[in-house]
Structure formats: structure tokens, C-alpha cells
Structure 1
Amino acid sequence: MKKILFTGILACMMAVLAACGGSDEAEGLLEDGKLKVGVTSGPHEQILEKVAELAEEEGLTIELVSFSDYVMPNVSLSEGELDLNSFQTEPFFDHMNEERGLDLVKVADTVTFPMGIYSEGVEDVADLKDGAQIGLPSDPTNSGRALLLFEQAGLITLEEGLGVNATVNDIAENPNNYSFIELDSAQIPRQLGEVDAAAINSNFAMDAGLVPGEDSIFIEQDSTFVNLIAVREENKDDEAVQQFIDIYQSDEVKQFVEETFQGSVVTGW
């Protein structure tokens, strides 16, 4: 009798555990009924608002969480406070993953924001005076990107082969003795009047009312810095993630980007 009773209890316990496991697997990221997506303020947020609108029509609720910096969206995603994020280039993403030991993966490309050089004092990079102070982002990846931009503009020459990993210490030639000042990416538009020129990420430039194609005195040529959608490794095959990607890379979103940003933001898929 005891053996029969024990067997019955064990069977019930296994059934309960199996039911719980099956429920978690089925619900996935939509366990709470919505996807929580991290973005930076400005164009990324605008695009995601359109994605959310289209997603709602398909029965997918998206909650946007806006950030004013480049670090916290990845930290929040890694810690489970977000389901995915959409705001960063692949070189920056790789750097963050390595530096902070994050277990995040890229699942899709989104858009490209050409970085530009801006100035309140000159209208052409050729008019910058000897010894001019030039601002650039302080985070490693965007700093390297800005230095490559300065090289494209003919302001400096970098040591060969470093690419986005270049730092101000890797400037091989600086014939006009420019002084390079590293500043917080999000704050550069507000500090533009304090330097002679500065490299600004387009999302922050546009957030400050600047139009990259019109207001920059030099803009990135043939950019390979496509932004991406990132998730935790464990969620890369989640059905909700694929649904989100399909909506983001839809013709409706492509049209929205083209009409809204007029070339200042370019689709990268």
C-alpha cells in the first residue's frame, strides 16, 4: 500500500513539474504579455515607436525604455530588465560584450546613422585654423569611429591597420596641430560652442535639432557602422524576437525611415 501511495505521489509531482516546464517554454519572452525594448532617445526611439504601432496591429505589445547613454541599455538587457535593445553599432556592441563580460548576441541589422563633423564657427573643415580644438566622443568605439572620420576629412592620418580601435595616441600625422578633446557623446551637441568643431553621432545631433545632411561640415562616407538588435543568448531563437525583427525590417518601417529622416538615417537590411 505504501509503495502504491509513493508511486502515485511521485507521478503527480512529475506531472506538475512537466506542466510548469512546458508553460515556461511556451510563454518565452512574452510571459508578461509584452516585449520590453531599450533604445536611446532620438531617431532610434522614433523608429521603435513606429515598430510598436505596427506590432500592436499584430497583437504584440512593445514597451519602450529610453536611455540617454550607450552603456545602460546593454547592462539592463544583460540583467534581464529588458527583452532586447536596438541602439548600437556592431563594433561598440562587441567592445561592450568583451569589456563587461556580457552574454548578448546580435540577431539582426537595423539602420545606419552617418557620423558628422559640426561647427558653429566654420562651414568647411578646410577653414579650421591651426591648433583648433576638436571634440569627439569619449567611449572607445565611437572615439575610434570619430578619428576615422577625421582621417576621411583630411584632418589627420592614423597609424595603419587599427580601424575603430584607434585612439588619439595613434595619430601619426597632425599637420595643423589640432587639439582633440574627448567628451560624453550625448553632451557634445550642447558643448559645440565651446570647441571649434566636433564629431557627433547622428542620433544625438538630430535629438539636438541638427540635420546631418545639411548642418554637418563633413559627413561619414560609405559607413559600415550598421546598428543592430541585441538579445540575451538564451532568447535568440524566441518566436517573439523573430516577430519583432520581421516588423522592424518591414516595408512600412523602411518607408517611415526614408520619409522621416530624408537620408540622415539609412536602412541597413
Structure 2
Amino acid sequence: MFLKKIVSAAALVALLGSAAVHAEKLSVAATPVPHAELLELVKPVLAKEGVELDIKVFTDYVQPNQQVADGNIDVNFFQHQPYLDSFNKEHKTKLVTVGLVHVEPFGAYSDKIKDVKDLKEGALVALPNDPSNGARALLLLQKQGLIKLADPSNILATSRDIVENPKKLKFHELEAATLPRVLPDVDLALINTNYALEAGLNPVKDALFIEGADSPYANIVVTTEAKKDDPAVKKLVQALNSDATRKFIEEKYKGAIVPAF
């Protein structure tokens, strides 16, 4: 009987060891806030489902896509569809969307004025330098009546498409991650919410104006055609689209980020 118990115990240890060995690893590239925070939230949930989540944090908007396209990382979570479309076109990649998670309403910030009405003629405005977010910033400025674009709905508009600029605003295009740091040097900066949050800015309280919750720029989970139907990828999307994730978003970010599922 004692020998049988030892054998049974050994079998159990072997079984558990085998399960651990066969836990599927899934690497995900993400920017720190809120993407990596949301991934950390669902990491233990996925572990219970046999998926070991390996979160790789990046601070730029290029490497997360390039690493997935090159097969070094399985999935990324940091961008919206217009940015992905632009990236695929520019870099001749074929990355695909497998799920929507949240909207980060894009906002305008200033250290120099408290109301957009106080923006002076010739003011210096900082914009993201990537095509999709640069256009998103211009569309938001247009919505405020500060400029007018040749095509009011062009999601890839550039400053060259401005046909009316009554305040003679000057535009300075910079890498999105650097925009919070230049706030003291410009009159207005259009900043992605993830970078605003990282810099301690509260989009709901600190933005002079901001997109509505109906923004079409939902943040997405992205992978390759080869991995889009992978069970581990599907489990990740399900976890990010869960009621627990929705509650976390609503309670932690208090309107600065809005669930898109």
C-alpha cells in the first residue's frame, strides 16, 4: 500500500510537471499604459487556462508591429486600426486585427492656456508625426474650428491639407512618445492618451478638448494571418473582452479610457 502511494504521488508530480511544460507561451508587445496594465490584469486568468503570457513593453509605435511581423513576438496590443492600416501599407506587412478592447479619447493639452479660446495667433502646436495619429490630431483641431481641411473626413490628412488656418497656427510634428515632454515649449500639444497617462496627465480633467467616447479609434489586438486562429490568441482576446476587464477599465481610468466591447 505504501509503495502504491509513492507511485501515485510520483505519477501526480509527473502529470503536473507535464502540464507545466505544455503550458502554451504567448508573447505580447505593448506600450506601458494602459496596455501592459490590462495585460497584467488578465495574465493570471490566462495562466489558469494554460496560457503563459509574456509581456514585452515598448515605448515606441514601430517595433511592436515590426517584431510581430518578423515572427519574434506573437501578438501586439497598442494601436488603432488606422495606424495599423498605415503601417501595413508603408512597411508592406500583412498584420491583422483579432479584437477590439478600448478607446483612448485623443486630447489637446497646454501648460500655457486654460481655454482653447485663449490660443493666440501664430501659436505653436505639437502633433504626432506618424500619419494616422497626425491626421487624428488635425481632425480634432478641425472639430474645434481652429483649422479646416480640404477633405474633412480624411483620416490620413497632413498639415499640407489645411485650407483654412485663421489663427495662423504653426505645427511641429514629433514622435508621439515625446509630446508630453515638450508641453512647456509649445502652446498646445495633441497627445495620445496612453502617453498622457504615463506623464501623469488626466485626460478627463487636464485636456482642453478631447474626442468623444464615440471615437472610431478603438485599440486593437493584432497578430499575423498565421496566428489569427490560434487558441491562445483567442483566449487572450476573450480575457481582454471580459466583464472583469470592463469593470477594471471603468474603475481605474474613470472615463480616460472607454471599453470598446
TM-score by length of 1: 0.86
- Matched with 2:15 is none
Shift of 1:103: 2.1
Structure 1 window deviating more from structure 2 (108-117 vs 216-225): it is: 216-225
2:244 paired residue among 252, 262, 266: 252
- Matched with 2:118 is 127
Gaps of 5+ in 1: 1-29
- Alignment of 1:155 with 2:180, yes or no, is no
Asked if structure 1 preserves the Cα contact closer than 8 Å seen for 2:23 and 2:50, the reply is: no
- Matched with 2:209 is 218
- Matched with 2:17 is none
- Alignment of 1:53 with 2:44, yes or no, is yes
Amino acid at match of 1:152: K
Gaps of 5+ in 2: 1-20
Which has the greater radius of gyration?
1
Counterpart mapping for 1:27-38 below 5 A:
33-38=24-29
- Matched with 1:24 is none
Asked if structure 1 preserves the Cα contact closer than 8 Å seen for 2:24 and 2:232, the reply is: no
1:261 paired residue among 242, 253, 258: 253
- Matched with 1:197 is 188
- Matched with 2:61 is 70
Amino acid at match of 2:206: D
Amino acid at match of 2:46: A
Deviations 1:57-91 (A, max 9, x none): 33321010000100100000011111111110000
Amino acid at match of 1:193: P
Seq. identity, %: 41
TM-score by length of 2: 0.89
**Alpha-carbon distance in structure 1 between the residues aligned to 2:152 and 2:141:** 16
- Matched with 1:164 is 155
- Matched with 2:34 is 43
**Alpha-carbon distance in structure 2 between the residues aligned to 1:32 and 1:95:** 35
RMSD: 1.4
| 1:34–1:252 CA distance, 2 compared to 1 (3 A) | same
- Alignment of 1:106 with 2:107, yes or no, is no
Amino acid at match of 2:238: D
Asked if structure 1 preserves the Cα contact closer than 8 Å seen for 2:121 and 2:168, the reply is: yes
- Matched with 2:199 is 208
Deviations 1:179-204 (A, max 9, x none): 01101100010111100011000000
- Matched with 1:142 is 133
Count of equivalent residues? 240
